[in-house]
């Protein structure tokens, strides 16, 4: 993938080195989402549930279109996990080659997906965009920006959040805004002064600079009722 996808090595406060990968189905998932969004818009007049001016559309559960979308979305999630598994396998091979390290059990968590769940006594579709599942006891990952800490967490199963937590630090600037307003030399110096290997090479990389993201420590403090810091 590209953009905010990464391979990261960090020392945890448990003394171990953690290998973290953020990537997904990349373009396949986007194409599936775009295709079914267009299908839903074409069918909007047929179902007439929401005025066209709202620019919202849906696929009724049980329809052949909804069934096809859910099946293809599941394929994209599986494809994304295969991508991550292969990348992690290669990173582990390289690390082992240089250190003879052994590795613990991996943690995998999806984001940008929908699934049927029961909340408040009703079976509903929960769509997590920029969010991940945080069921009670479920292990999760919340990455920070370049040069910031990332977190391994355990879900608290908070029903008010539909058992969800954030997927990461979250942006405080849009991509184009970051390219226009951030100082490349300053952002590079901020990381290099701490000995951090980074990917800020040109002004076009500023969309992923630390200055474009929220403070992960504040983000974690704000969701202390959703996840436990492991």
Local structure of residue 171 (DSSP, 8 states): B
CA torsion, ordered 73, 117, 23, 176, to nearest 10 deg: 90
Dihedral of CA 166/80/174/39: which sign?
Answer: negative
Catalytic residue among 96, 167, 198, 229: 167
- Give dist(CA 18, CA 150) in Å, integer: 10
Torsion of CA 213, 217, 220, 224, to 10 degrees: -160
Q: Can 204 be counted among the known catalytic residues?
A: no
Please list, in sequence order, all residues whose beta carbon lies within 8 angstroms of the beta carbon of residue 103, skipping any fewer than 6 positions away.
19, 92, 96
Residue 157 CB partners (closer than 8 Å, separation 6+): 134, 135, 136, 137, 138, 163
Q: What is the largest CA-CA distance in the chain?
A: 61
Alpha helices in the chain (DSSP H): 27-47, 64-99, 175-181, 184-192, 216-222
The burial class, CB within 10 Å (0-12 / 13-18 / 19+), for 43 is: middle
Catalytic residue set: 167
């Amino acid at each position: 993938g590209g953009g905010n996808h990464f391979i990261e090595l960090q020392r945890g406060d448990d003394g171990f080195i953690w290998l973290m990968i953020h990537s997904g189905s990349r373009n396949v998932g986007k194409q599936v989402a775009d295709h079914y969004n267009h299908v839903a818009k074409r069918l909007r007049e047929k179902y007439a549930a929401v005025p066209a001016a709202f620019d919202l559309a849906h696929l009724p559960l049980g329809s052949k279109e909804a069934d096809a979308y859910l099946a293809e979305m599941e394929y994209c999630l599986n494809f994304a996990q295969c991508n991550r598994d292969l990348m992690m396998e290669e990173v582990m091979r390289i690390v082992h080659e240089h250190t003879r390290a052994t590795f613990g059990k991996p943690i995998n968590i999806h984001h940008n997906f929908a699934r049927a769940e029961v909340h408040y006594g009703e079976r509903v579709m929960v769509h997590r965009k920029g969010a991940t599942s945080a069921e009670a006891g479920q292990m999760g990952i919340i990455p920070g920006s370049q040069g910031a800490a990332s977190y391994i967490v355990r879900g608290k199963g908070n029903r008010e959040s539909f058992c969800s937590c954030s997927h990461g630090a979250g942006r405080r600037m849009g991509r184009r805004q970051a390219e226009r307003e951030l100082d490349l030399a300053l952002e590079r110096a901020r990381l290099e002064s701490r000995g951090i290997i980074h990917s800020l090479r040109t002004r076009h990389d500023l969309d992923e600079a630390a200055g474009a993201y929220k403070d992960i420590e504040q983000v974690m403090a704000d969701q202390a009722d959703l996840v436990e810091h492991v």
